[in-house]
């Protein structure tokens, strides 16, 4: 089985631009979560999608948004980029998104905002 | 609200020595507890999880962890580490609802020969 695939692997953007990151979950997994990882704040939860519906959202500004498609693939979008948005963005999938489930993580997208 | 404290940001250890990585959590409800490992330039991989039952949990790569409810701790141990165990280790908690993980800041395990 293929693992969680995130594209692109690296991105360089300038302040004010917007960016879209993509995540393909493991086949059969219907829950996709997104996390932001920075040296200062560590790993922080962004949002979780299940069957195309956002079920949970972390404490991030509205510039951060996401969606999930009928095939469970997910995208997250960051508009009006700020320097502080530079981070590793990790996507994780699981079967149904229950609190007791193992999450399978992708390798992440490293976003640099200049 | 839930929180996780990993008491050591870095733990240096020699190869074949035992190691313990400490984790304390805070939650007003019952939680599930996890340890994930992150190798350089990779995503996170589950080492082990505690859901209920036996408080000693065994995971992959020879790691184990013990859940202590009275001390709200979930420390990770390995009796003999290898160079290949050099990585960052994250303790995490989630509630009984959705799989939203609250992570600790991580502990970098540095194994030297």
A5-26 pLDDT per residue, tens: 999 999 999 999 999 999 999 9
Q: What is the pLDDT of residues A24-75, one digit of tens each?
A: 999 999 999 999 999 989 999 999 999 999 999 999 999 999 999 999 999 9
Q: What is the pLDDT of residues B72-112, one digit of tens each?
A: 999 999 999 999 999 999 999 998 777 789 999 999 999 99
| B50 half-sphere exposure, CB direction, 13 A CA radius | 23
CA distance A4 to B4: 26
pLDDT of residue B49: 94
CB contact under 8 A, A43 and B90: yes
* A100 to chain B, closest Cα gap in Å: 6
Given a contact cutoff of 8 angstroms between Cβ atoms, the answer to whether B80 and B14 are in contact is no
pLDDT of residue A82: 97
Given a contact cutoff of 8 angstroms between Cβ atoms, the answer to whether B55 and B31 are in contact is no
Given a contact cutoff of 8 angstroms between Cβ atoms, the answer to whether A58 and B2 are in contact is no
Is A9 an 8 Å CB contact of chain B?
no
Q: For chains A and B, count residue pairs whose Cβ atoms are closer than 8 Å.
A: 66
Q: Which residues of B66-95 are buried (b: 16+ CB within 10 A; e: fewer)?
A: bbeeeebbbbbebeebeeebbbbbbbbbbb
pLDDT of residue A16: 97
pLDDT of residue B53: 85
């Amino acid at each position: 089985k293929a693992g969680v695939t995130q594209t692109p692997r690296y991105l360089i953007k300038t302040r004010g631009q917007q960016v879209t990151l993509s995540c393909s979950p493991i086949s059969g997994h219907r829950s996709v979560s997104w996390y932001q990882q920075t040296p200062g704040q560590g790993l922080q939860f962004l949002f979780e999608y299940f069957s195309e519906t956002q079920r949970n959202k972390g404490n991030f500004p509205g510039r951060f948004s996401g969606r999930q498609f009928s095939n469970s693939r997910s995208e997250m979008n960051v508009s009006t980029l700020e320097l502080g948005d530079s981070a590793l963005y990790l996507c994780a999938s699981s079967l149904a998104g229950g609190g007791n489930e193992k999450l399978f993580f992708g390798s992440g997208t490293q976003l640099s905002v200049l | 609200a839930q929180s996780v404290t990993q008491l050591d940001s870095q733990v240096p250890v020699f190869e074949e020595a035992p190691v313990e990585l400490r984790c304390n959590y805070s939650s007003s409800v019952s939680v599930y507890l996890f340890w994930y490992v992150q190798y350089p330039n990779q995503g996170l991989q589950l080492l082990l999880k505690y859901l209920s039952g036996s408080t000693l949990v065994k995971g992959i790569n020879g790691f184990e962890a013990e859940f202590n409810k009275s001390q709200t701790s979930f420390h990770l141990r390995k009796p003999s580490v290898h160079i290949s165990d050099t990585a960052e280790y994250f303790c995490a908690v989630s509630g009984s609802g959705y799989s939203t993980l609250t992570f600790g800041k991580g502990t970098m395990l540095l194994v030297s020969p």
